[in-house]
A and B are shown apart, each in its own frame.
Chain A
Amino acid sequence: GAVVSQHPSRVICKSGTSVKIECRSLDFQATTMFWYRQFPKQSLMLMATSNEGSKATYEQGVEKDKFLINHASLTLSTLTVTSAHPEDSSFYICSAIPGGAFYNEQFFGPGTRLTVL
């Protein structure tokens, strides 16, 4: 099956620093990737849609200057949390959709646990 990886799986950083999270589709090309945020014991909230070669589309209420998304290739999207603060601590999950059919299944990465001290 299609595999999506995320790196790192866990990161701890100091308040005010920036953190980059990578999402890779390992065995397929992903024209579209999504970034989600999951708070403890809560659901996944869509943050943004990332399309290769174009600017990401952010959901309402998500600060685009805080959460920078770059989808530079068909297998890699990155999420950079800029000037991180403790309230940015969360579980970040990406998903990727292979190109093609009229509706495609999303394949999810294992997630990245971000802790901001």
Chain B
Amino acid sequence: AQSVTQPDIHITVSEGASLELRCNYSYGATPYLFWYVQSPGQGLQLLLKYFSGDTLVQGIKGFEAEFKRSQSSFNLRKPSVHWSDAAEYFCAVAERGGGNKLTFGTGTQLKVEL
């Protein structure tokens, strides 16, 4: 069955430290890949997306993600976390030719310690 897995439910990092959030997918073919951030009272915001081409994708707010086909992974990274990055992060996939329907991972709650 098609699925998206985010193994880490909670992650706590110190401000200024680096961050990596993991995402693995199980699909027959490489889907479109996304990372969203959800903050209280705000809609989900797209951080970055991968459709094809360069496997290292740059996004907003200093985030980047690397697509690794061999590992079916699309991990999100940030070299230096800011306190304002504390939020819920969702990895999502859309099947190519699947009508834009997104399947979300279970999310990772990021806490930033000052």
Residues in B whose Cβ lies below 8 Å from that of A107: 43
In angstroms, Cα B49 to Cα A106, docked, is 12
A-B Cβ contacts below 8 A, count = 47
Assess whether B100 is in contact with A93, with CB atoms less than 8 Å apart. Answer: no
Interface size on B, residues (CB 8 A): 22
Assess whether A43 is in contact with B49, with CB atoms less than 8 Å apart. Answer: no
Residues in A whose Cβ lies below 8 Å from that of B104: 43-45
Beta-carbon contacts under 8 Å, B51-91 to A: 51, 90
Assess whether B107 is in contact with A43, with CB atoms less than 8 Å apart. Answer: yes
Residues in A whose Cβ lies below 8 Å from that of B13: none
Among candidates B32, B41, B43, B107, residue contacting A103 with C-beta atoms closer than 8 Å: B32
Assess whether A103 is in contact with B51, with CB atoms less than 8 Å apart. Answer: yes
User: In whole Å, how far is A25's beta carbon from the nearest beta carbon of chain B?
Assistant: 12
| Chain A minimum-CB-distance residue to B96 | A103
Assess whether A110 is in contact with B43, with CB atoms less than 8 Å apart. Answer: yes
Residues in A whose Cβ lies below 8 Å from that of B28: none
Assess whether B51 is in contact with A111, with CB atoms less than 8 Å apart. Answer: no
Residues in B whose Cβ lies below 8 Å from that of A95: 44
Interface string of A27-68 (1 = CB under 8 A from B): 000001010000001111110010000000000000000000
Is B94 an interface residue when CB atoms closer than 8 A count as contact? yes
Assess whether A42 is in contact with B106, with CB atoms less than 8 Å apart. Answer: yes
User: In whole Å, how far is A114's beta carbon from the nearest beta carbon of chain B?
Assistant: 16
Among candidates A42, A46, A110, residue contacting B42 with C-beta atoms closer than 8 Å: A110
Is A4 an interface residue when CB atoms closer than 8 A count as contact? yes
Is A104 an interface residue when CB atoms closer than 8 A count as contact? yes
